[in-house]
Amino acid sequence: MTLPSIIILLVVVLIIGGFALFYFQPKQLAKTESIYTNALNAMVRGDKRTALKHLRDVVKQDTNHVDAYLQMGDILREEGNAQAAIKIHQSLTVRPNLKNDIKLHIHKSLALDYEQLAQLAKARSEVELLLKLDKRNLWANEFLLALFEKQRDWDKATQVSKTIQKVKELQDSNQIARFLVFKGMDNLEKGKVEEAIRVFESAVKTAPEFEKTYLCLGDLYLDKRELVKAIDNWEKYALLNPANGKMIYSKIESALFDLGRFSEVENFYKRIVDKDPSNLSALTKLANVLEEKGEHNSALILVEDALSKNQTSVHAHLMKLKLSLQFSKPNELSNHIDKIIEILTSDKKND
């Protein structure tokens, strides 16, 4: 065969190959993408079994379809097979020339895989690799925050929380104070009382309105028998958290009694009521104090005022009944009792 003949033959082969590549490869790719689309549609419907079948068909036809491998691994993890998911996701890490968003997805998936197997150190490593690619990644930072909370690593939780707040462009000093309070409570469990006090005081400076700090300080000072400081912190807690503040009223009364300052109980409840006139617990406590002082009319006026604002308060009605026992006629007392029964019956019907 002459040289010109060989050249002509090669040209023909190249032309035929070009036509084949043009006609057949796009069709193959189109078919693969169609199957992948079917897989995504199945995932949207929640039909994971069908989605997994389609995804396996995709990777059989195109071993470079990284997205299909990622979705396969994620589905396997969601189905409880994190070990198989890790094998798939881990195999993708060695592939060259991956786009940044694909790398982020791989590390996120591996972190979730390891978390499902309670391999938290490995999960953290994957998230840290993700953050090297995108340090402001909100999902990764929130994942680390949850991890540090679970591990009770409050210093790291505080640090990550600050990062999250920068990413979200917000400031939440209460969350920082919450972690400081947890750290202080851990110190107390370890017997490090003075260190706990320093941490709690830091929490107060960070978020003066975060009421939990004052409750912890009050209880701590009670244990140290520093009752004046205990009362001061409990009162701040009660003023900041009226709903739960009533749980420590008895503690404050007992501490004032131990200090020989029981006469100050009235002023304490007045301060609570002045700040929160709708606080029925404090109001009825104040009425009790006035009654014990012999100021019956003042106590009754106080309770009547509370009932004018909340006719369905069983607590206030009972207090009125108590105050009326010595002065009301039997039929009036009977009416009070009927009213209370009516409220209680109505509440049960609404449950």
Q: Rounded distance, CA 269 to CA 261, Å?
A: 14
Q: What is the CATH number of the domain that holds 306?
A: 1.25.40.10
For the cut 90, the answer to whether the pLDDT of residue 299 exceeds it is no
Q: Say which residues have a Cβ less than 8 Å from residue 165's Cβ, sequence separation at least 6.
A: 171, 172, 175
295 located within any domain = yes
How would residue 335 be classed by pLDDT, with cut points 50, 70 and 90? low
Contact 182, 154 (CB under 8 A): yes
287 located within any domain = yes
133 located within any domain = no
Range of the domain at 350: 277-351
What is the pLDDT, as a whole number, of residue 58? 78
187 located within any domain = no
283 located within any domain = yes
Region 172-200: what's the mean pLDDT?
A: 96
50 located within any domain = no
For the cut 70, the answer to whether the pLDDT of residue 318 exceeds it is no
113 located within any domain = no
What mean pLDDT, rounded, does the chain reach? 83
Contact 68, 36 (CB under 8 A): yes
Q: What is the pLDDT of residues 83-110, one digit of tens each?
A: 999 999 999 999 999 999 999 999 999 9
With CA atoms as reference, report the closest residue to 269 among 259, 292, 213, 312. Answer: 292
Q: Rounded distance, CA 95 to CA 102, Å?
A: 11
Q: Rounded distance, CA 123 to CA 61, Å?
A: 32
159 located within any domain = no
Q: What is the pLDDT of residues 261-296, one digit of tens each?
A: 888 888 888 888 888 877 778 877 877 777 777 777
Name the domain count of the chain: 1
Q: What is the pLDDT of residues 3-62, one digit of tens each?
A: 555 555 554 444 444 444 444 444 454 477 777 776 677 777 777 788 788 888 877 888
